[in-house]
Structure 1
Amino acid sequence: MGLVELFILAVGLSMDAFAVSICKGLSLRKIQIKHIVVVGLYFGIFQGGMPFIGYLLGNQFSEKIVSVDHWIAFILLLIIGINMIKESRKDEIDEIENNAENTGLEVKGMLLLAIATSIDALAVGVTFAFLKVNILPAVTFIGITTFVLSSLGVKIGNVFGSKYKSHAELAGGLILIILGTKILLDHTGFLQKLGTHLF
């Protein structure tokens, strides 16, 4: 997986956290730098940590199913992407995200939000094991990307309001579906075969 693909994946994964960060920005009357940093760190650490756990789990059995790994990656990313698109079509983000207004930046509330928004990344970590991704740079990159976008989300939510929440999740879902399809096509050699027939 190249740097461009990793960046696209990182952005797609971070859209849930970005949407929730907008909610946090909405709930904070007077925003401070520490608020932005705290939210960014929670989401960045969990979004980077979950793929690492998934990678460790996937490594245990990746060699046994290497012949179908691209299908597993495609199906996981497709399911995650579809779920994110469904969430974007709801009138409200989700019950746990709606509770963000009441939890402030308390440890318990932020942990719940960070875990809830990073579960998808756990499944992506499993695909990393199948694809033999260099895991430490990958999860670091994902964590930093999520930190930046989540921090930005807090500011956007505080300034512009809630209209970007659903758009963020929709974009994230589409990105993951496209990436999963690309992985499948690359590993099955479909594009090469198509090019051979056309030219």
Structure 2
Amino acid sequence: MIGELVTLVLMAFALGMDAFSVGLGMGMFKLRLRQIFKIGITIGLFHVWMPLVGMLAGKFLSDKFGTFASIVGGLLLMVLGVQMIWSSLRKSEESVMTPVGFGLLIFATSVSLDSFSLGLTLGIYGAKTILVIICFGVVATILTWAGLLLGRKAQGWIGSYSEALGGSILLAFGIKLLLPFL
């Protein structure tokens, strides 16, 4: 149980690094603490329902396709990790959307889409659903708040490194899951 909890917290940390890094940029808006609180809660909720939907789909796939679904799950983690690392290394200037109203929903969706993929993988491997969504939601909320608050004080260089770290963690878990099949 402790090992599974540590693994899930590490995965939640890896996924939450997207929210942290984007929060760093958003924090440059000099948001009020009330707005920061609302943004963190919204991101946390999105990091609950996106992996939940993914896990339900993953459990269905696992029941129907067995070992093949396990291999696909490991590959998904690796692809997701590489994509996060790659996007952190790109030097493109992205327009920053204001995290209010519809912009907040777009922001929350964009930083939690990868949690759907991870939820799919965890569903295939039969992870404990309640434990997953609590870990993902709490960690994403805390990392979002940290990114937004730190963004008020720090320069933007931290963001790309945090996303690369998150991608590296997911890549490592993907490799670990595929090792028994090699």
The question of whether the paired residues in 1 share the 8 Å contact of 2:52 and 2:129 is answered with yes
One-letter code aligned to 1:128: L
Unaligned runs of 5+ in 2: none
Q: Hey, what does 2:177 align to over in structure 1? A: 183
The question of whether the paired residues in 1 share the 8 Å contact of 2:75 and 2:178 is answered with no
In the TM superposition, residue 86 of structure 1 has moved relative to its aligned partner by: 1.1
Instruction: Kindly name which structure, 1 or 2, has the bigger radius of gyration based on alpha carbons.
Output: 1
| 1:117 lines up with 2:111 in the alignment | yes
Count of paired positions: 180
Q: In 1, Cα distance between the equivalents of 2:167 and 2:22?
A: 15
Q: Hey, what does 1:73 align to over in structure 2? A: 73
The question of whether the paired residues in 2 share the 8 Å contact of 1:21 and 1:39 is answered with no
2:168 to 171, 174, 182: 174
Q: Hey, what does 1:133 align to over in structure 2? A: 127
The question of whether the paired residues in 1 share the 8 Å contact of 2:61 and 2:69 is answered with no
In the TM superposition, residue 189 of structure 1 has moved relative to its aligned partner by: 7.5
Q: Hey, what does 2:55 align to over in structure 1? A: 55
Q: In 2, Cα distance between the equivalents of 1:73 and 1:57?
A: 12
The aligned runs of 1:184-199 (5 Å cut-off) are: 184-185=178-179, 188=180
The question of whether the paired residues in 2 share the 8 Å contact of 1:48 and 1:139 is answered with yes
In the TM superposition, residue 87 of structure 1 has moved relative to its aligned partner by: 0.9
Q: 1:92/1:26 Cα in 2 relative to 1: closer, same or farther (>3 Å)?
A: farther
Q: In 2, Cα distance between the equivalents of 1:58 and 1:13?
A: 18
The aligned runs of 1:8-87 (5 Å cut-off) are: 8-28=10-30, 31-87=31-87
Q: In 2, Cα distance between the equivalents of 1:142 and 1:25?
A: 22
One-letter code aligned to 2:20: F
CA RMSD of aligned residues (A): 1.7
| 1:7 lines up with 2:9 in the alignment | yes
2:96 to 88, 94, 99: 99
Identity %, equivalent residues = 28
In the TM superposition, residue 64 of structure 1 has moved relative to its aligned partner by: 1.9
Unaligned runs of 5+ in 1: 191-199
**CA-to-partner distance for each residue in 1:129-174, whole Å, 9 max, x for gaps?**
1111111221111110010011000011110121111001110110
What TM-score results when the alignment is normalised by the length of structure 1? Answer: 0.84
What TM-score results when the alignment is normalised by the length of structure 2? Answer: 0.92
